[in-house]
């Protein structure tokens, strides 16, 4: 001890000085540590902490924008929005006590036909995405559940009822296949460039025009960024950025509600699976397109029951399939138009050339018969089309079996290739050719190479051919309008909420095909006689129709099925404005079911015209 008294000796002073120097050294080290640490936090890592702090204090809430409406060409609402009640849980207001919280969630689960595990999972997933936002447990909850929750509010702290937008279909099932539906975006879709900027939980169009025109219908969600304090509570005047939601644009379709409804009713009246298309031959605007059986798009706005799942997804009749564009069928005699164009344009046939129809044509060991075995004697093209002589076209098929002319013209007219329609899922079809079959044969996929018989089959729309009403309508339209292969489309224009046109859709025709005027005249005449000539195949249906028309029946033989009924019709004759193609699976002869269905559609179309309301092409036909 150096402290012996108040006075210090020099030796004691030295020992004290050492201790004080050490003390000072420790102080220097400690301050050095603090300065270094401060430097690291603020200067070296400052930017990172600043970002953290900014992230700390804001919460973003997205405000969903209402989707645009979908209208028919006359402004009739096909898809609108209704507000629906959604059950949300604000996790911050749930009871702190874990047992109470559990009890409340179980009660909620029971009320919403769910279970505790599923509720917990939903909450967990949604909270991961938006930490402070309320979690939507169920959309479209019933009125009675809402009343119950409101009456028992004190038993359900943190439970809120929110208004959300849900798709509404005032016309029920009409145009169900075209409209499509709306659903939550999937993880895979989130990665696609067309959905950039969307977030999990956002709704996008699924199928139909909801999908094709999703970008326009979707609108822009609003954004409310709120400054929050440490408890996540909004601070006063803490509304930082508020971007109002921009509602989606309204989509006006080219569909004519009257035609659409008539087409669907006509199919439904037959009660057999089938499809139809009615299209403007010049512009490619589709006035009606439908399929049977159909479904109620409103089912998809709320969770499906098992019965609904069975009725839609597990139904062998596949009500979700749009047979007008996804069907793959042989066409029967309706294909004769293509064969006729090919024969006339390639020069092997003239309108005046006669071919003898003895009721059957024998090639090698194969015999091809007229339907019913009747013999029409000597025929020219017009009459062959009127009575639908098979032997006439068998002969043409035999002559062109390996020249590829039928396929060349079928391809030009749009058979067996993408049509460019603005609906998802359209089928390409199959146009059988010599090259195709020989390739299959070479690969051992089939038992024989291309033969004369294949050419003969194709000439009358039988055999391997696979197409659908849409492609047939396009081919007929091309002949009817003098050679323009249109791009079919249902989207007509976009309008804003006030009805102003923002953008018109008028896709360019796919291509021009050179068809000699003589060819067109002769074939149209034959089709006209087939529909309205006394011996025409569909005279019984269209004989007394007030508007002159040109239509062709078809009866396709499908392996494993009864005959499929077809009818394709151009109206009015001789300068057609619209084309309608109908097919009915197992509907028998063309005149049996497809032609009457087509009649119903044309009646709806021309009725409306004669009543003077604005039709697709204005004015009334002559």
Partner 1 sequence: MYATRARQARIEPFAVRPGIAERLGLPYMDAPLGLGAAALAAFSVFTLSQSTLHDVPGSPHYYVDRQAIYAVLGIVGMYLLARIDYSRFRELRVGIYTFLCVSISLVFVFGFAARGSRRAFELPFFSFQPSELGKVLLVLALSGFVIDGARNGSDWQRTVRYLCLGLAPAALVFLQPDLGTSLVFGAITLAVMYVGGVRWTHFAVIGAALVALVAVVLVVAPAVGTPLLKDYQTQRLTSFLHPSEDPGDAGYQQDQAKTAIGSGEKTGRGDRATQTRLDFVPERHTDFIFAVIGERYGFIGAALVLSLYALLIWRALRIVTLSKNSYGTLVAGGIAAMLLFQVFVNVGMNLGIMPITGIPLPLMSYGGSSVLATFLAVGVLQSIHMQARLSQRGRFAW
Interface with partner 1 includes 313 (CB under 8 A)? no
Interface with partner 1 includes 49 (CB under 8 A)? yes
Cis peptide bond N-terminal to 503, omega within 30? no
Residue placing its CB nearer to partner 1 in the complex, 25 or 449: 25
Interface with partner 1 includes 24 (CB under 8 A)? yes
- Which position among 37, 92, 120, 243 is part of the footprint of partner 1 (CB under 8 A)? 37
How far apart are alpha carbons 446 and 437 in whole angstroms?
A: 8
Report the first-to-last Cα separation within the chain, whole angstroms: 130
Interface with partner 1 includes 8 (CB under 8 A)? yes
Interface with partner 1 includes 116 (CB under 8 A)? no
Alpha helices in 85-204 (DSSP H): 98-111, 116-129, 143-151, 176-179, 187-190
Options 18-26, 280-288, 326-334, 456-464: segment touching partner 1 (CB under 8 A)? 18-26
Each residue 222-241 as x (binds partner 1 by CB under 8 A) or -, in order, gives -----xxxxx---x------
Options 38-46, 62-70, 261-269, 598-606: segment touching partner 1 (CB under 8 A)? 38-46
Q: To the nearest 10°, the Cα dihedral for 36, 40, 41, 42?
A: 100
Helix and strand counts by DSSP (H, E) for the chain:
22, 23
Classify 558 in phi/psi space as left (phi over 0), alpha (psi -120 to 50) or beta. beta
Contacts with partner 1 by CB under 8 A: the residue count is: 48
Residue placing its CB nearer to partner 1 in the complex, 83 or 233: 233
Q: Are 107 and 119 in contact (CB under 8 A)?
A: no
Residue placing its CB nearer to partner 1 in the complex, 5 or 544: 5
- Minimum Å gap between C-beta 24 and partner 1 is 5
Residue placing its CB nearer to partner 1 in the complex, 37 or 155: 37
List the one residue out of 180, 176, 182 whose CA is nearest residue 208: 180
Q: To the nearest 10°, the Cα dihedral for 457, 460, 601, 277?
A: 50
Overall size of the chain counted in residues: 622
Interface with partner 1 includes 35 (CB under 8 A)? yes
Residue placing its CB nearer to partner 1 in the complex, 14 or 152: 14
Interface with partner 1 includes 52 (CB under 8 A)? yes
Structure tokens at 379: 């025929």
- Minimum Å gap between C-beta 241 and partner 1 is 15
Interface with partner 1 includes 97 (CB under 8 A)? no
Residue placing its CB nearer to partner 1 in the complex, 17 or 304: 17
- Minimum Å gap between C-beta 324 and partner 1 is 58
- Which position among 50, 63, 317, 562 is part of the footprint of partner 1 (CB under 8 A)? 50
Residue placing its CB nearer to partner 1 in the complex, 33 or 146: 33
Q: What is the CA radius of gyration of the chain?
A: 36
- Minimum Å gap between C-beta 34 and partner 1 is 5
Interface with partner 1 includes 449 (CB under 8 A)? no
Please state, as a whole number, how many other Cβ atoms lie within 10 Å of the Cβ of residue 615. 23
3-state class (DSSP) for residue 369: strand
Interface with partner 1 includes 57 (CB under 8 A)? yes
How far apart are alpha carbons 585 and 588 in whole angstroms?
A: 8
3-state class (DSSP) for residue 478: helix
List the one residue out of 204, 236, 202, 238 whose CA is nearest residue 222: 202
- Minimum Å gap between C-beta 109 and partner 1 is 26
Interface with partner 1 includes 445 (CB under 8 A)? no
Interface with partner 1 includes 34 (CB under 8 A)? yes
Q: How far is CA 307 from its chain centroid?
A: 24
List the one residue out of 499, 493, 437, 500 whose CA is nearest residue 464: 437
* DSSP 8-state symbol, 228: E
Each residue 537-556 as x (binds partner 1 by CB under 8 A) or -, in order, gives --------------------
How far apart are alpha carbons 358 and 453 in whole angstroms?
A: 18
Residue placing its CB nearer to partner 1 in the complex, 45 or 504: 45
- Minimum Å gap between C-beta 51 and partner 1 is 8
H/E segment holding residue 164: strand 159-168
How far apart are alpha carbons 472 and 468 in whole angstroms?
A: 6
Interface with partner 1 includes 48 (CB under 8 A)? yes
- Which position among 11, 43, 498, 559 is part of the footprint of partner 1 (CB under 8 A)? 43
Structure tokens at 492: 């007509």
- Which position among 6, 154, 365, 447 is part of the footprint of partner 1 (CB under 8 A)? 6
By CB under 8 A, name the binding residues for partner 1: 1-8, 10, 13-17, 19-20, 23-24, 26-27, 30-31, 33-35, 37-39, 41-43, 45-50, 52-54, 56-57, 227-231, 235
């Amino acid at each position: 001890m150096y402290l012996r008294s108040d006075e210090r000796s020099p030796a004691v002073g030295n020992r004290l000085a050492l201790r004080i120097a050490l003390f000072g050294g420790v102080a220097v080290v400690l301050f050095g540590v603090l300065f270094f640490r401060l430097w690291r936090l603020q200067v070296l890592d400052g930017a990172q902490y600043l970002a953290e702090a900014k992230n700390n204090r804001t919460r973003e809430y997205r405000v969903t924008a209402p989707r645009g409406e979908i209208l028919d060409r006359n402004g009739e609402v096909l898809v609108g929005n209704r507000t629906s009640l959604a059950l949300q849980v604000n996790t911050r207001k749930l009871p702190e006590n874990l047992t109470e919280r559990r009890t409340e969630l179980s009660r909620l689960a029971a009320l919403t036909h769910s279970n505790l595990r599923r509720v917990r999972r939903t909450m967990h997933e949604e909270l991961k995405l938006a930490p402070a936002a309320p979690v939507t447990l169920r959309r479209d909850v019933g009125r009675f559940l809402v009343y119950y929750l409101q009456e028992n509010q004190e038993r359900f702290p943190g439970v809120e009822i929110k208004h959300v937008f849900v798709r509404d279909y005032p016309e029920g099932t009409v145009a169900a296949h075209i409209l499509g539906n709306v659903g939550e975006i999937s993880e895979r879709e989130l990665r696609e460039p067309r959905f950039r900027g969307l977030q999990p939980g956002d709704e996008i169009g699924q199928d139909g025009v909801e999908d094709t025109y999703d970008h326009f219908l979707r609108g822009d969600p609003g954004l409310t960024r709120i400054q929050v304090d440490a408890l996540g509570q909004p601070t006063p005047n803490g509304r930082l950025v508020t971007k109002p939601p921009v509602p989606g644009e309204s989509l006006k379709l080219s569909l004519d509600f009257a035609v659409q409804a008539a087409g669907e009713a006509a199919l439904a009246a037959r009660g057999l699976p089938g499809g139809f298309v009615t299209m403007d031959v010049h512009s490619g605007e589709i006035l009606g397109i439908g399929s049977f059986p159909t479904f109620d798009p409103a089912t998809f706005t709320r969770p499906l029951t098992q019965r609904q799942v069975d009725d839609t997804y597990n139904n062998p009749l596949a009500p979700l399939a749009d047979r007008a564009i996804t069907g793959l069928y042989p066409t029967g005699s309706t294909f004769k138009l293509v064969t006729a164009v090919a024969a006339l344009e390639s020069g092997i046939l003239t309108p005046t050339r006669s071919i003898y129809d003895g009721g059957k044509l024998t090639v090698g060991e194969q015999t091809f018969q007229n339907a019913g075995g009747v013999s029409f004697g000597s025929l020219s093209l017009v009459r062959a089309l009127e009575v639908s002589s098979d032997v006439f076209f068998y002969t043409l098929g035999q002559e062109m079996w390996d020249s590829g002319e039928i396929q060349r013209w079928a391809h030009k007219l749009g058979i067996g290739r993408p049509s460019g329609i603005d609906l998802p899922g359209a089928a390409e079809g199959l146009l059988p050719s010599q090259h195709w079959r020989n390739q299959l044969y070479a690969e051992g996929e089939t038992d024989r190479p291309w033969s004369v018989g294949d050419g003969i089959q194709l000439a009358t729309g039988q055999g391997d051919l696979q197409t659908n009403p849409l492609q047939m309508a396009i081919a007929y339209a091309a002949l009817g309008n003098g050679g323009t292969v249109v791009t079919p489309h249902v989207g007509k224009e976009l309008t804003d909420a006030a009805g102003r046109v923002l953008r018109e859709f008028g896709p360019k025709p796919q291509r021009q095909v050179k068809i000699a005027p003589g060819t067109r005249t002769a074939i149209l005449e034959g089709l006209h006689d087939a529909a309205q000539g006394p011996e025409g195949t569909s005279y019984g249906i269209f004989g007394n129709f007030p508007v002159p028309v040109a239509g062709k029946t078809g009866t396709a033989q499908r392996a494993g099925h009864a005959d499929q009924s077809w009818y394709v019709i151009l109206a009015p004759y001789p300068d057609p404005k619209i084309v309608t193609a109908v097919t009915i699976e197992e509907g028998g002869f063309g005149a049996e079911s497809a032609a009457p269905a087509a009649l119903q559609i044309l009646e709806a179309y021309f009725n409306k015209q004669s009543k003077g309301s604005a039709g697709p092409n204005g004015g009334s036909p002559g």
